[in-house]
DNA sequence: CAAAAGTCATTAGGATGCTAATCGTCAGCC
DNA sequence: GGCTGACGATTAGCATCCTAATGACTTTTG
């Protein structure tokens, strides 16, 4: 499930040429956009391979990390999280979260317990098995991140983060803003 | 199908703290990695919304763009491309490409014709309907790319591309290299 | 020339994640 | 107390993309 289906990005000259046909095309923006998606795909692929080798999908890993982060947070108010909380802090729907939790329960990585106060809710918590699993998995995972960013000096990494953050902030407002159904002329 | 399941990236201090538990964790690399994936997701989401509004999936759009690029390439040797060529230049398998072409044929966006010389092969080519569709769709698509990159000056965009390219080159070798089955200790 | 090996497209079956609809529970209001 | 509307979790059905296996065809080789 790559974000960009193109393996070889177009040369800059091709973008310049295409801009003759489409005046809306800004070659510099387009180049940056394509590189962003392509690099993100490749980086994602590299870490995901590690996860699948350990028999866990990316989505399930994300849920484990969310729970792990919460269980290691001193401000944590309660034990475990509800499926709704997990879904809200992820980029998946509640229905999808139900499915993710299903498979995690099947593999004994999390436990579902009914909330005492509100019987609509469930609480999801890591099992010791999951803790051990993460302790085995995470070192390699972090090593891969470091390996990926190896060609960049620390200051280059800071620059990258700064630039990406500008885009991220802007994209978030763009994505959240036009919930008004009609974003483009049809 | 986001790459990163985390909506809110961890604060840098949390990474520093986690590095105490996991000495393999390089906070700066980790931060850069997470920002890369997160920003890529958000940027992707923004352009994909435009595509779904026009009733086309991201994968199908990619195939159309590949065919469009080839048909506008003066060096193009022959008319159309084979499914294998399309799959090789994409990030999907040949089986997936068959499915993508199926739906594109159903929507009359491409035509399948048998290759005269090699009867194992098919040739896939855009229909006039697809050309018109792209001419209608692409301006908005390019505008979205430009809008996304708007907060960055042109020189910042160049810097971003340069940094991303370093990562991309390195990640490509990392991904292609260890085809030797044993990438990590099990 | 004919068997073996390789290539191309496709099919079958599975995993993942979505939207929409459903069921149970809670909270406000008469 | 008993409706009514809102919310939490789940289910059902769908789309996408994967791996592995299959059948048709071409090329190589004895």
Residues 6+ apart with CB under 8 A from A36: A164, A167, B36, B39, B40, B43, B160, B164
State the pLDDT confidence band at A39, using cuts at 50, 70 and 90: very high
C1' nearest to CA of A94: which nucleotide?
Answer: D9
pLDDT at B117: 86
Length of chain B, please? 186
The β-bridge partners of A122 are A114
pLDDT at A77: 65
Model confidence over A119-132: pLDDT tens digits?
889 999 999 999 99
State the pLDDT confidence band at B177, using cuts at 50, 70 and 90: low
CA torsion B5-B6-B7-B13 (nearest 10°) is -170
Model confidence over B154-170: pLDDT tens digits?
999 999 999 999 999 99
Average pLDDT over residues B100-110: 91
Q: What is chain B's mean pLDDT, rounded?
A: 87
Q: Which residues in chain A touch residue B175, judged by CB atoms under 8 angstroms apart?
A: 42, 45-46, 49
Q: What is chain A's mean pLDDT, rounded?
A: 88
Model confidence over A10-25: pLDDT tens digits?
999 999 999 999 999 9
Average pLDDT over residues A66-81: 80
User: What are the backbone dihedrals phi and psi of residue A167, each rounded to the nearest 5 degrees, phi first?
Assistant: -65, -45
Model confidence over A145-181: pLDDT tens digits?
999 999 999 999 999 999 999 999 999 888 876 543 3
Q: What percent of chain A has pLDDT over 70?
A: 91
pLDDT at B76: 62
**How large is the C-alpha radius of gyration of chain B?**
21
Model confidence over B118-128: pLDDT tens digits?
888 999 999 99
Model confidence over A88-105: pLDDT tens digits?
998 899 999 999 999 999
Length of chain A, please? 186
Best residue of B8, B21, B42 to probe chain A, by most A CBs closer than 10 Å: B42
Contact B29, B49 (CB under 8 A): no
pLDDT at B179: 43
CB proximity B93–strand D (7 Å threshold): yes
Q: Which residues in chain B touch residue A61, judged by CB atoms under 8 angstroms apart?
A: 5
């Amino acid at each position: 499930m790559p974000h960009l289906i193109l393996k070889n990005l177009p040369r800059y000259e091709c973008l310049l040429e295409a801009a003759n046909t489409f005046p809306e095309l800004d070659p510099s923006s387009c180049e940056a956009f394509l590189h962003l998606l392509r690099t993100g795909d490749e980086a994602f692929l590299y870490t995901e391979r590690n996860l699948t080798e350990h028999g866990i999908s990316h989505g399930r890993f994300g849920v484990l990390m969310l729970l792990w982060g919460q269980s290691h947070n001193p401000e944590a108010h309660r034990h475990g999280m509800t499926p709704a909380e997990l879904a809200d802090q992820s980029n998946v729907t509640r229905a999808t979260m139900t499915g993710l939790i299903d498979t995690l329960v099947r593999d004994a990585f999390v436990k579902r317990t009914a909330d005492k106060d509100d019987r609509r809710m469930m609480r999801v918590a890591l099992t010791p098995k999951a803790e051990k699993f993460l302790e085995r998995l995470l070192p390699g995972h972090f090593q891969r991140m470091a390996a990926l960013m190896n060609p960049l000096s620390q200051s280059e990494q800071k620059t990258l983060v700064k630039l990406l953050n500008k885009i991220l902030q802007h994209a978030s407002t763009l994505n959240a803003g036009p919930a008004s159904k009609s974003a483009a002329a049809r």
